Amino acid sequence: MNAHSQSRAGILSSKFATFALGVVIAGAAGFMASKPATAADDKDKKNVVSKELAKPLKGAQDDLNNKKYSDAVAKLQEAESNPKKTPYDEHVINQLAGVAYARMSDYANAEKAFAAQVDDGFTDQADLPRVVKAVAQINYQLKNYDRAIEYGNKAVKGGFADDEVNVIVGQAYYLKGDWKGTLSFEQALVDGDIKAGRTPKDQSLQLILSSCVKLEDAGCETKALENLVAYYPKPDYWKQLLYTMAQDKATNSSDKTTLQLYRLMSEVDVLNRPDDYTEMAQLAIEAGSPGEAQHVL
C-alpha cells in the first residue's frame, strides 16, 4: 500500500465519522400524526384509538403541536401504562413518542419508538420508507452500525432506498471495520449506476478504494483507482493510480512498458520525483530517443 492510499484511507475514516443531527430530527418530524388521536373519523374500525386512551393521546398530540415535548412524553408514558391499551393505541403512542423523543434529542428512545412501527402492522405502506429511514439514521447517529445496516438494507430490499440511505449503509459498514461488506455494498451501487448509464458517485468509488487498501488487495486497489480516474480524472487520482502501477513489478514487465508509464505520468502532470525523471531519461536513451531524454532532463 503506497503513501497516497494510506492518506486517502485516513481521510475517509475521518470524513465519514459524522452525520447531521438535524437530518434525524427533520426526518422524525414527518411522522407527526396528521389527524387527532380519536376514533371519530376513522372508517376502519380496526385502526381506531380506544375510548380509554383518546384523551391522553389527543393531549399528547396537542403538546407536540405546541412544542411541549416533555409534557407530551409524560402523557404518552401514562397511556403506555394503561392496561386497556390496544395494539393500535400502542402504534399511535410510538408514532407520537418517536417525534417527541427526537425533538428532545433523546435518540435512544426515539429509535425504539420508530423501530416498533416498522412491523406492527399499522404503518401505512406510503409511510414505511420514511419510518425505516428514520430508524437507520438514528442508529447511525448512535453509532449502532449493525442496526443502521439492518434497517438500511430493509430499505434496499424493499426498493425504497434513496441516496441518503445508501450513504448511511456504506458508511456504517466502513466505520464498523467491515471492509468486505463495504466493498460488496458499494460495488453493487457502482455496478447499478453503470448499468443504468449513470456516473457512479465519487464517494462510492472512494469507499471502494479505501476498503481495497484496508484489505491490502493490490489488484482491487488498482481497479478502484482506474474507475476513479475514468469517472473523476483528478490529478490526485491519477497520481495514486500511476505511482501504484509504477510500484507493481507485474505491470512493469519491460523497460518499454515502464517508459510508456512514465510518459503517461508526464502527460497528466504527476511525474514529480527527481529519480523518476532520471530513470525516464535513461529509458528514453536506451529506446533510441535522446531528444526525449534531453527534454525530460
Would you say residue 261 lies in a domain?
yes
Among the listed residues 103, 100, 99, 116, the one whose alpha carbon sits nearest the alpha carbon of residue 21: 103
What are 218-246's pLDDT values in tens digits? 889 889 998 998 999 888 887 777 777 76
Domain count, the chain: 2
Q: What is the pTM of this model?
A: 0.75
Separation in Å, CA 95 to CA 33, 88, 155: 7, 10, 19
What are 5-38's pLDDT values in tens digits? 444 444 344 343 334 344 445 444 544 444 444 4
Last residue of a domain, one of 126, 154, 172: 126
Helix ranges (H only) for 196-289 are: 202-214, 218-231, 235-246, 255-267, 274-286
Residue ranges making up the domain that contains 271: 252-297
Would you say residue 269 lies in a domain?
yes
Last residue of a domain, one of 126, 148, 172: 126
Would you say residue 110 lies in a domain?
yes
Helix (H) or strand (E) holding 289, with range, is none
- C-alpha 80/C-alpha 66 separation (Å) is 21
Last residue of a domain, one of 126, 143, 176: 126
Cβ-contact 136, 166 below 8 angstroms: no
Q: What is the DSSP letter of 1?
A: -
Would you say residue 136 lies in a domain?
no
Would you say residue 221 lies in a domain?
no
Would you say residue 183 lies in a domain?
no
pLDDT in tens, the chain (297 residues): 454 444 444 434 434 333 434 444 544 454 444 444 444 444 455 788 999 999 999 999 999 999 999 999 999 999 999 999 999 999 999 999 999 999 999 999 999 999 999 999 999 999 999 999 999 999 999 999 999 999 999 999 999 999 999 999 999 999 999 999 999 999 999 999 999 999 999 999 999 999 999 999 988 988 999 899 899 988 888 777 777 776 665 555 677 777 676 776 766 666 777 877 777 777 767 777 787 777 777
Would you say residue 247 lies in a domain?
no
Cβ-contact 118, 94 below 8 angstroms: no
Would you say residue 232 lies in a domain?
no
